[in-house]
Amino acid sequence: MAVNALIATAWKTMRQSQNNQAPEINNDKTNEELKVYNYVSSVEKPLKWGEFKYLIELHGTSVPPMRAMWYYFMTTHRFLLAHIICTYFLHYLPALIIDGLAKITGKESPNLYKVYRKIDKFTMVLAYFAHRSWNFSNNNVQTLWKNLNPADQKSFNFDMKKLDWDKFFYNYIRGLRVYLLKDDMSTLPQALVRWRRFYWAHQTLKALFGFFVLRVCWTGSQLIYNTLR
């Protein structure tokens, strides 16, 4: 769709240039101004963070990669303090434990701590854009679409209103797996077996962590009760 919009923009720009060069056209400053075609989805087909997260989970967990190291787990936070706490307990602490166990057992260290440091820096860079609302305009693109005849609209479809986000993420996730991770779809059955093991390990770890938190809270309340009594 983006390529189709680019082709249509080139056609429209050429036609506009030809019209401006005609003798009967007065080449004033208005005709010399460059027109910007801002091809964005937020005007006609907005995607909220909640829907984005849902579609990633829906299509991502169905085709896990073979090199996955744990079950998918994502949290979003309104406050920076909550994000920092989760980063240290869910990223850095497990990374240090795994890297340490690898060194103790003589295996090659995956350097997860270094990986998470890079992820954290990248996240902070994106935070400025993710935490704010941005208003875009694509009036020129909408006008360009209306100027195409039905045959060209069919051949060069870039109507953002017709974009199917569910279909988009279905293909997007599989494209990441095959072309970015170089993980052929033939490995999917094996990956799903590992994924189910990760799932139960993840649930067990969550249960143990919940029990630990409840135990700490119970012990703390007992100490407070005994002190006040």
The per-residue pLDDT for range 113-165, each reduced to its tens digit, is 898 899 889 888 888 888 888 888 999 999 999 999 999 999 999 999 999 99
Residue type at 184?
Answer: D
What average pLDDT does this structure show over 33-62?
Answer: 90
Beta carbons within 10 angstroms of residue 188's beta carbon: 18
Please check the confidence at residue 45 and state whether its pLDDT lies above 70.
yes
Contact 94, 202 (CB under 8 A): no
Share of the chain above pLDDT 90, in %: 48
Q: What is the pLDDT of residue 35?
A: 86
d(CA 95, CA 98): 5
SS3 212: helix
pLDDT at 18: 81
Mean pLDDT in residue range 44-61: 91
Residue 176 has pLDDT above 90, yes or no: yes
